[in-house]
Amino acid sequence: MCGRYVLKSAPRRILEQFGIADGRGETSRSEEWRPRFNLAPGQFAPVLRSDPAGPCLDMLRWGLVPAWAHDESFAQRTVNARGETASRLPAFRAAFKARRCIVPADGFYEWQYVQGSPHKQPWYISRRDGELLAFAGLWEHWQPRGRPEALRTFTIITTEASAWMQPVHARMPAILDAAGVQAWLDGATPPETLQGLLAPAPEDALQRHPVGRAVGNPRNDSPELPEAVEPDVSAS
């Protein structure tokens, strides 16, 4: 799964890396953005999505709420969507067909079980070249009666971990390259092509190091959280 990630890059850098024209990143929540070092479900984050005028950057809340959901608590079960089943499950299939998005990140955390230790060892994973990661995602809008505007939410798609990642965790976010980003956002991309994009990232593209257990508390959000520490005994 992916339950915590880092996005310290400014919106302008996101727009530049993904080739979005200036002015396509303005949202009602854009003024609320600040660098985040421990983004958690239920919080708002910048997400790239397509609308009739082309890709844009919007602030959406993490935890997808389908249009037919009775209340917002549905989001607690939809922080992630499994790539193997997202196109079929009722919570995700409409978004998989028509509301795909990209979740930009500087890196993400995963927790490793350490034999003989009462604690899991958290790891920070990022791109070797320092560029932003592009997670495949889905977004939805939910508007109950009496609410003046729709709540827009997103989920991060996960896939089986690569051999490089498996010692840390069995699953990882589906990470797209530049061509994959374009295909994922293109409404004309065939379903079979979309499914093929949800594969582990090339192992030589990523790097990882152990971090402190403070990342386990979503109230902690400081620049030192992604910094390397000595791992627990036996973690590797």
The verdict on pTM exceeding 0.75 is yes
CATH node for 5-216: 3.90.1680.10
Per the CB < 8 A criterion, the answer to whether 138 and 156 are in contact is: no
Between CA 200 and CA 165 the distance in angstroms is 9
Domain chopping of the chain, boundaries: 5-216
CA distances from 179 to 67, 82, 184, 223 (A): 30, 21, 9, 31
Q: Which amino acid is at 30?
A: S
Contacts of 191 (CB under 8 A, 6+ apart): 87, 97
Contact 206, 125 (CB under 8 A): yes
Show which residues are catalytic. 2, 110
Helix (H, G, I), strand (E, B) or coil at 229: coil
pLDDT score for 19: 83
- Give the whole-angstrom CA distance, residue 81 versus residue 109: 17
Q: What is the pLDDT of residue 164?
A: 94
Sign of CA pseudo-dihedral 19, 23, 28, 31: positive
Rounded to an integer, what distance in angstroms lies between the CA atom of residue 184 and that of residue 96?
10
Between CA 16 and CA 27 the distance in angstroms is 17
Task: Give, for all 236 residues of the chain, the pLDDT tens digit.
Answer: 789 999 999 888 998 998 876 555 544 455 467 899 999 999 999 999 987 777 889 999 999 999 999 889 999 999 999 999 999 999 999 999 999 999 999 999 999 998 888 889 999 999 999 999 999 999 999 987 777 788 999 999 999 999 999 999 999 999 999 999 999 999 999 999 999 999 888 888 999 999 999 999 999 999 999 999 988 655 55
Amino acid at 191: P
CB atoms within 10 A of CB 100: 24
Q: Is 218 exposed, middle or buried (0-12, 13-18, 19+ CB in 10 A)?
A: middle
Sequence letter at residue 50: S
* CA–CA dist 205, 68 (Å, integer): 39
> Do the bridges between strand 206-210 and strand 171-173 make them parallel or antiparallel, or are there none, so unpaired?
unpaired
